[in-house]
């Protein structure tokens, strides 16, 4: 599972009622001792283990009044608090959500209550339950009845407030955007957004512009006010601030200025930049927030030239054509000296060549310019568009070669040159677009043929298997502390053995607790010329999710050519696990998802999430060889179905 916080356990020790009784056992006759013991526990009721706690469930034992979160050495009797809460973590700050899950483990046979509600304990000792939250500091109170001993545990968290200002409240402005500096051109719009006391008159000003601009409340009494300013040709703005004002019926006012400042982007001469990172991403728009960026669109190699026409925060706006722009991180490019002219590339001849494993299309260019590759969903053709180029294509060498059935070119506008490469259906299953010097090369990878009568359709293929996570990123943590990195590796090793038995070659991207950077993993697969990449993961949910509803297996893909493989593997999981007597799992879905391990176009790439670590039963499955073998067999069944439909058969 990707992008998860590291979780930790806190085990606490405290003195219990039984321990206090033990101190006096030698001074009280046995009969009196038994009476005292009965008195101490007569009000402690037991949970019945029903997986659906209802109002008839007994009340939890009274909580200990001392601080149960204080870490302390073992007491003189050696008793240790066995309650382990994995998530939420101590002092974790949760967003403004009404509920969240709590998971962890206790000894098998214990009776557990969370915030007074009975919680079933799985045979492994794991538990998970949903709790209702309240804004502000919040305590999760766990009570465990274990034999004659009652343990108490408190987990402290903080829940963000959803408190909303009312129209009757005093005038107040809570925030103003933009929050980051911007450099834009005349004609560009800047949206100003403010949150404050609802139902008021609102307007904003721009430093250096002598005018008040109205703001409209986005919904009645929402307290969210929006306005827009369009930069003018005569503006001379330089780090100008925005000021928002709210005014009530009594003409009382309150004003707040933005943290972000507005400047005119220098546009007397073109501003040119060059990519300096091998992992540059051009995005569809500016960041939605500082932590939420827009979608991926293009992946230009290092040395690609383009024109910059603005900046918002830590992102530059990139001009592809008069009507098409994208955005890039300022850290991934360098500005070129003033006077560097925009790229104007003339595309001349095109040549095609082939080997038994690939077909290459080559276009000599004078400079590296941005491009997009758009495969047809049915594999009938591939379009490649170049931005900042126009055609002088009079010669195409070998237009019918390898899997290429023909090439056409188009001048979509005065700055966009496009070629369409016609291919046969199911004739390729990966492509590598790259620059070799200033020559653009598109290599189409051909499914290798298979001999008639081969034992398996994947025989002879090179399969890259990625066991997700590792160190220091351990991934999700199960209810009993089983780490995702270990679950992934165990499943990946089982898959490796089954693949080898089928006659495939296997590239293991992670073989132990290796620190393999995420961006390097697909590169390792490509460097080893893998035919297919499978990334093995197991799932979890962010706070607020409900694992009692959303769980099971899922399969993920990104590139169009990977959809069929993902669909075949997903179908195999469905056939194996839905309603199964041994490992009954629901279908969590087939997903298109922009993940690092599914993004690379050089080979069909998918990511599997076989089970949810945070659900006790599914975590228990993951610890068994039987479940790992069943998952690996499902993956291989999908691989065989896909490869069998793609690989040409020879030697009939």
User: Per-residue pLDDT tens for 40-56?
Assistant: 333 333 333 333 332 23
Is the pLDDT confidence value at 135 over 60?
A: yes
What pLDDT digit, counting tens, does each position of 289-340 carry?
878 899 999 999 999 999 999 999 999 999 999 999 999 999 999 999 999 9
Supply the pTM of this predicted model. 0.86
pLDDT band at 21 (very low <50, low <70, confident <90, very high): very low
Q: What is the pLDDT of residues 232-246, one digit of tens each?
A: 999 999 999 999 999
pLDDT of residue 68: 40
Tokens coding 195: 């949150």
Q: What percent of the chain has pLDDT over 90?
A: 83
pLDDT exceeding 70 applies to what percent of the chain? 88
CA 229 to the chain's CA centroid:
34
pLDDT at 379: 84
* 456-472 b/e (C-beta count within 10 Å ≥ 16 → b): bbbbbbbbbbbbbbbee
Q: Is the pLDDT of residue 621 over 80?
A: yes
Beta bridge mates, 410? 418
Q: What is the CATH number of domain 345-445?
A: 2.60.40.3500
> Nearest CA to 350 among 416, 397, 401, 385?
397
When computed from its CA atoms, the radius of gyration of the chain, rounded to whole angstroms, is 31
Fold classification of 173-264 is: Immunoglobulin-like (2.60.40)
> Which is more confident, 503 or 10?
503
602: three-class secondary structure by DSSP: coil
CA dist., res. 555 & res. 542, Å (int):
18
- Residue 353: pLDDT band with limits 50, 70, 90: very high
Mean pLDDT of all residues belonging to the chain? 89
Tokens of residue 252, six digits: 């009382």
**Among the ranges given (11-20, 329-338, 384-393, 587-596), the one the predictor scored with the smallest mean pLDDT:** 11-20
Q: Which residue has the higher pLDDT, 62 or 10?
A: 62
On whether the CB atoms of residues 610 and 552 are closer than 8 A, the answer is: no
- Structure confidence at residue 62 as a pLDDT band (50, 70, 90): low
Express each pLDDT in 184-199 by its tens digit: 999 999 999 999 999 9
Q: Rounded mean pLDDT of 539-548?
A: 97
373 CB-near residues (< 8 Å, 6+ apart): 382, 383, 384, 431, 433, 442, 601
The whole-number pLDDT of residue 265 equals 96
CATH number at 17-159? 2.60.40.10
Burial 160-175 (b: 16+ CB within 10 A, else e): eeeeebeeeeebebee
Q: What is the 3-state secondary structure (H, E, C) of 16-63?
A: CHHHHHHHHHHHCCHHHHHHHHHHHHCCCCCCCCCCCCCCCCCCCCCC
Q: 17-159 with 345-445: one CATH topology? A: yes
pLDDT value of residue 453 = 87
Are 328 and 283 in contact by the 8 Å Cβ rule? The answer is yes
Is it the case that residue 106 has pLDDT exceeding 80?
yes
CATH architecture, domain 462-646: 3-Layer(aba) Sandwich (3.40)
Q: Answer yes or no: is pLDDT of 14 > 50.
A: no
**404-413 sheet: strands from edge to edge:** 371-375, 381-387, 416-423, 404-413
Greater confidence (548 vs 77) lies with 548
410: phi then psi, degrees, rounded to nearest 5: -140, 145
Nearest-angstrom CA–CA distance, 462 and 525: 9
What distances in angstroms separate CA 161 from CA 55, 158, 173, 218, one per listed residue? Answer: 29, 9, 17, 21
Pairing of strands 450-451, 649-650: parallel
> Would you say domain 271-335 falls under CATH 1.10.10.60?
no
Lowest mean pLDDT among 102-111, 286-295, 366-375, 441-450: 286-295
- Quick one: pLDDT at residue 391? 97
pLDDT at 30: 39
Task: Identify the burial level of 271 via C-beta atoms within 10 angstroms of its C-beta, where 0-12 means exposed, 13-18 middle and 19 or more buried.
Answer: buried
Q: According to the model, what pLDDT value does residue 291 have?
A: 80
pLDDT band at 8 (very low <50, low <70, confident <90, very high): very low
pLDDT digits (tens, 9 = 90+) for 371-430: 999 999 888 999 999 999 999 999 999 999 999 999 999 999 999 999 999 998 899 999
The least confident of 267-271, 576-580, 638-642 is 267-271
Give CA–CA dist 443/432, Å, rounded: 5
* Per-residue model confidence as pLDDT tens digits over 553-574: 999 999 999 999 999 999 999 9
Cα separation, 587 vs 573, in Å, equals: 8
pLDDT at 268: 86
Closest listed residue to residue 248, CA positions, set 192, 167, 175:
167
List the domain boundaries for the chain. Answer: 17-159, 173-264, 271-335, 345-445, 462-646
Give the pLDDT of residue 224. Answer: 97
């Amino acid at each position: 599972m990707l992008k998860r916080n590291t979780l930790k356990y806190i085990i606490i020790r405290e003195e219990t009622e039984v321990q206090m009784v033990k101190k006096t056992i030698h001074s009280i006759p046995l009969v009196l001792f038994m009476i005292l013991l009965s008195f101490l526990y007569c009000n402690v009721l037991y949970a019945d283990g029903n997986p659906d706690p209802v109002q008839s469930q007994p009340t939890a034992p009274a909580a200990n009044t001392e601080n149960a979160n204080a870490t302390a050495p073992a007491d003189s009797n050696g008793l240790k608090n066995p309650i382990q809460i994995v998530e939420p973590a101590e002092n974790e700050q949760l967003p403004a959500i009404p509920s969240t899950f709590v998971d962890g483990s206790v000894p098998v046979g214990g009776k557990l209550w969370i915030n007074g509600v009975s919680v079933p304990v799985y045979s492994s000792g794991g538990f998970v339950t949903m709790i209702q939250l309240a804004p502000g500091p919040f305590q999760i109170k766990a009570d465990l009845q274990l034999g004659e001993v009652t343990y108490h545990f408190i987990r402290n968290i903080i829940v963000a407030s959803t408190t909303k200002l009312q129209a009757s409240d005093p005038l107040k402005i809570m925030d103003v955007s933009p929050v980051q500096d911007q450099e834009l051109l005349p004609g560009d719009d800047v949206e100003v957004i403010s949150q404050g006391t609802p139902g008021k008159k609102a307007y904003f000003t721009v430093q250096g512009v002598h005018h008040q601009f109205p703001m409209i409340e986005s919904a009645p009494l929402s307290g969210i006010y929006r306005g827009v300013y369009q930069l003018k040709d005569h503006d001379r703005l330089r780090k100008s601030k925005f000021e928002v004002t709210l005014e009530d019926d009594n003409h009382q006012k309150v004003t707040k200025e933005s943290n972000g400042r507005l400047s005119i982007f220098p546009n007397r001469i073109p501003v040119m930049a060059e990519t300096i990172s091998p992992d540059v991403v051009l995005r569809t728009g500016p960041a939605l927030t500082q932590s939420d960026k827009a979608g991926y669109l293009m992946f230009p190699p290092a040395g690609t030239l383009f024109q910059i026409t603005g900046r918002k925060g830590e992102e530059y706006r990139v001009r592809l054509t008069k009507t098409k722009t994208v955005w890039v991180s300022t850290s991934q490019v360098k500005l070129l000296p003033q006077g560097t002219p925009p790229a104007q590339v003339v595309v001349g001849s095109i040549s095609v060549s082939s080997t038994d494993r690939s077909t290459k299309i080559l276009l000599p260019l004078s400079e590296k310019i941005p491009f997009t590759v758009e495969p047809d969903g049915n594999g009938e053709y591939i379009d490649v568009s170049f931005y900042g180029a126009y055609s002088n294509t009079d010669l195409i060498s070998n237009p019918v070669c390898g899997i290429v059935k023909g090439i056409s070119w188009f001048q979509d506008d005065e700055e966009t040159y496009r070629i369409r490469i016609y291919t046969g259906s199911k004739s390729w299953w990966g492509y590598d677009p790259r620059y070799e010097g200033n020559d653009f090369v598109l290599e189409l990878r051909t499914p290798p043929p298979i001999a008639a009568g081969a034992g398996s359709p994947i025989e002879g293929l090179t399969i890259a298997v990625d066991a997700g996570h590792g160190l220091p990123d351990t991934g999700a943590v199960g209810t009993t502390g089983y780490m995702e990195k270990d679950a992934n590796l165990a499943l990946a090793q089982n898959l490796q053995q089954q693949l080898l038995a089928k006659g495939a070659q296997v590239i293991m991207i992670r073989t132990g607790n290796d620190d393999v950077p995420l961006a390097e993993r697909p590169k390792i697969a490509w460097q080893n010329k893998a035919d297919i990449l499978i990334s093995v993961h197991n799932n979890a949910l962010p706070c607020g999710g409900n694992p009692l509803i959303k769980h099971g297996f899922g399969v993920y893909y990104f590139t169009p050519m990977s959809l069929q493989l993902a669909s075949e593997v997903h179908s195999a999981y469905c056939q194996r696990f839905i309603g199964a007597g041994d490992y009954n799992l629901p279908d969590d879905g087939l997903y298109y998802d922009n993940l690092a391990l599914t993004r690379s176009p050089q080979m069909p790439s998918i990511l599997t999430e076989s089970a949810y670590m945070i659900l006790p039963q599914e975590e228990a499955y993951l610890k068994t060889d039987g479940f790992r073998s069943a998952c690996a067999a499902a993956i291989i069944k999908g691989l065989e179905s896909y490869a069998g439909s793609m690989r040409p058969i020879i030697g009939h």
